Structures are given as structure tokens and as C-alpha cells.
């Protein structure tokens, strides 16, 4: 019973971390129409930055702050040239950026190279009991997710968020209304990068490891699947998508101990959710949890919510 509860706690930590990562996709793709296929790059930057600094003896919170800053700066730097592109070209540019970052890290000896960074100090070095450590990480990952949920909600419920939705639906219309769409998209790109970097920092300290094999392009596609299934325009959609994907993936791993599965559980989950994503995009493109649209009424020629 004790081991089962610990297993559930461990799964919940990973779900919350990926829910934060999925929320960054919801902000960029779902609410702003930015196809950032390099989200894993910022996830990796946050993880490696905090891990490297933690090994030098820097406290986790300070290492996290530096990781957040570097993730945001990286998001700003890549957004300047990349956001001049649109559609498939933007997707390809951000995808290649992620691969370049991964290959650079892979070839830097001080970052562990192919071996990675092992024995990354925990955010809670004074906690020695594993179950208590899992509970502390649940609290940490939950706080991170809720903080970014508040940020997301504040952005999308304000006039700023309505501009983002206008950019998502019709960028030319937003520009015709005098909005600097490039500036808005760059800001969203930076905030989304900060979310991903924070998730990466929490992830690496929990695993005690940061290696390039954890940050391949498949992570980006997995997070997009989570976002699309749960609902790419809502906060709960990010959490639900992460919960569904990771829960089924864990169930497949457990099932492999009892029944014969001809395919690796990770690959099988990817295949199943690939088909599920295509079906959802066709029949319910908003995802399981849909965006609540505000009704607008016209009174004496004036718009009112």
C-alpha cells in the first residue's frame, strides 16, 4: 500500500510538471496562434541551467530564478527572427532551434555531454525520507502550476488577452486595428518560454538528472498532444491532457507486466494518442474542455459584453 501511494505521488508530480509545460503551449498555440515547435528547447534550458548551478552549491530558488531569466532571454532572442515567419516556416524554425540547442548541449563537456548531469541536488536537501520528498515536490509543482494558471487567467481575461485572440483568429485584422502584433507575439513567446523553463528546472531537480535524451523532439509532440486533447485554450485543458496522456502511458507500462504487448509501451502510447489527436482535431478541434466564448450584444450602436 505504501509503495502504491508513493507511485501515485510520483505520477502526480510528473503530471503537474507536464501540465505546466502544456500550459505554455496553450498560451502560445491555443490562445495566440503561435506554432512553437521548439518548446522542448526552453524546457531543456531551464533544466540544465538550474542543474548546473545547483551542482556548484547555489540554492534551488536562486538557480530557478537564473533558469527563468535565461529561458526568457532565449525566448526573446529566438522570437525576434522567428516571428517574422508564419505558419509552417515558423514551426520549422523553432523545431530546428530546439535541435541546435540539444546538439550544442550534447557536445559541451562541462554540461556532461552524452552522459548528462547526474546527482542534481534536490530542492529539499533536508528531506531524507523518499515519501516526504515526493510530497514536497507535489507541493512545489502544484504551486508552480497554479502561479502560471493565475498569470494565464489574468492575461486572457483582460483586454490584452482579447488582442491575443484577435491575433489568433485574424492577424491582419488585429494589425488593421493598430495593434503591434509582433510585439504581442514576442511577449507571449517569452512568457511561454519562462513557463517551459520553470517546468524544466523543477523536473531535473526531482529526477536528480538532466540529460539530452530527456529533451528530444518527441517531448514537443507529446506536449502538443496533451494540449490538443485536453483543450488548447484553457487552463484545465492543460492539466487534463497531461493527466490523460501520462496516466494511460503508466497503465500501459503496468499492463506489460501482466500481458504480452508486442510494442514498447511508450511507442504504443504515442501511436494511440496520435490517432486520438487526429480524431479530436477532426471532430472536436477545441479539445475536451472548450473555450468559453463571451457573448457580445449591441446596444444603441455600442458593443457590450
DSSP per-residue codes, 110-126: GGTTTT-EESPPPS-TT
Grid cell digits, residue 116: 548528462
Sequence-ordered list of residues with C-beta below 8 angstroms from that of 225, at least 6 positions apart, any chain: 241, 245, 273, 274, 276, 277
Question: How many Cβ atoms from other residues are within 10 Å of residue 46's Cβ?
Answer: 33
Considering Cα of 178, then 290, then 223, then 18, what sign does the dihedral take? positive
| Number of residues written out for the chain | 305
Residue 301 has pLDDT above 90, yes or no: no
The DSSP letter of residue 85 is S
Burial class (CB in 10 A: 0-12, 13-18, 19+), 50: buried
Mean pLDDT of the 81-107 span: 88
Residue 59 has pLDDT above 90, yes or no: yes
Looking at every residue in the chain, the average pLDDT score rounds to 88
Residue 18 has pLDDT above 90, yes or no: yes
More confident residue, 50 or 85: 50
**Side-chain half-sphere of 142: how many Cα atoms within 13 Å?**
10
Mean pLDDT of the 28-44 span: 92
Choose the most confident range, by mean pLDDT, from 37-51, 221-235, 236-250.
37-51
Count of structural domains within the chain: 1
Tell me the pLDDT band of 55, cut-offs 50, 70 and 90: very high
Q: Look at the pTM and tell me if it is higher than 0.85.
A: yes
The DSSP letter of residue 180 is -
Domain limits for position 254: 2-304
> Which segments of 33-192 are extended strands (E)?
117-118
Q: Are 201 and 121 in contact (CB under 8 A)?
A: no
Q: Are 251 and 19 in contact (CB under 8 A)?
A: no
Q: What value does the CA radius of gyration of the chain take, rounded to a whole number of Å? A: 20
**Long-range contacts at 164-172 (CB < 8 A, ≥ 24 apart):** 164/31, 164/32, 164/188, 165/31, 165/32, 167/32, 167/33, 168/31, 168/32, 168/33, 169/33, 171/33
Grid cell digits, residue 261: 504487448
Mean pLDDT of the 17-24 span: 96
Grid cell digits, residue 245: 496522456
Amino acid at each position: 500500500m505504501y509503495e502504491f501511494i508513493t507511485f501515485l505521488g510520483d505520477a502526480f508530480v510528473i503530471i503537474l510538471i507536464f501540465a505546466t509545460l502544456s500550459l505554455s503551449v496553450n498560451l502560445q498555440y491555443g490562445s495566440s496562434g503561435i506554432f512553437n515547435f521548439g518548446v522542448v528547447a526552453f524546457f531543456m534550458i531551464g533544466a540544465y541551467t538550474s542543474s548546473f548551478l545547483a551542482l556548484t552549491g547555489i540554492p534551488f530558488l536562486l538557480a530557478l530564478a537564473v533558469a527563468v531569466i535565461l529561458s526568457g532571454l532565449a525566448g526573446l532572442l529566438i522570437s525576434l527572427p522567428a516571428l517574422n515567419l508564419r505558419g509552417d516556416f515558423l514551426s520549422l524554425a523553432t523545431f530546428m532551434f530546439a535541435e541546435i540547442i540539444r546538439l550544442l548541449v550534447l557536445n559541451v563537456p562541462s554540461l556532461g555531454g552524452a552522459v548528462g548531469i547526474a546527482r542534481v541536488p534536490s530542492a529539499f536537501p533536508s528531506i531524507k525520507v523518499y515519501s516526504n520528498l515526493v510530497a514536497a515536490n507535489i507541493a512545489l509543482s502544484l504551486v508552480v502550476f497554479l502561479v502560471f494558471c493565475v498569470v494565464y487567467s489574468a492575461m486572457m481575461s483582460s483586454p490584452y488577452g482579447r488582442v491575443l485572440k484577435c491575433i489568433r483568429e485574424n492577424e491582419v485584422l488585429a494589425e488593421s486595428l493598430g495593434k503591434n502584433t509582433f510585439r504581442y507575439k514576442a511577449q507571449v513567446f517569452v512568457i511561454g518560454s519562462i513557463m517551459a523553463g520553470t517546468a524544466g528546472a523543477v523536473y531535473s531537480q526531482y529526477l536528480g538528472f538532466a540529460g539530452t535524451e530527456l529533451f528530444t523532439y518527441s517531448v514537443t509532440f507529446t506536449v502538443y498532444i496533451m494540449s490538443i486533447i485536453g483543450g488548447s485554450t484553457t487552463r484545465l485543458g492543460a492539466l487534463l491532457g497531461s493527466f490523460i496522456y501520462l496516466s494511460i502511458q503508466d497503465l500501459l507500462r503496468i499492463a506489460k507486466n501482466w500481458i504480452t504487448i508486442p510494442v514498447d509501451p511508450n511507442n504504443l502510447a504515442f501511436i494511440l494518442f496520435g490517432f486520438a489527436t487526429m480524431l479530436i482535431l477532426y471532430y472536436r478541434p477545441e479539445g475536451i474542455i472548450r473555450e468559453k466564448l463571451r457573448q457580445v450584444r449591441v446596444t444603441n450602436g455600442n458593443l457590450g459584453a
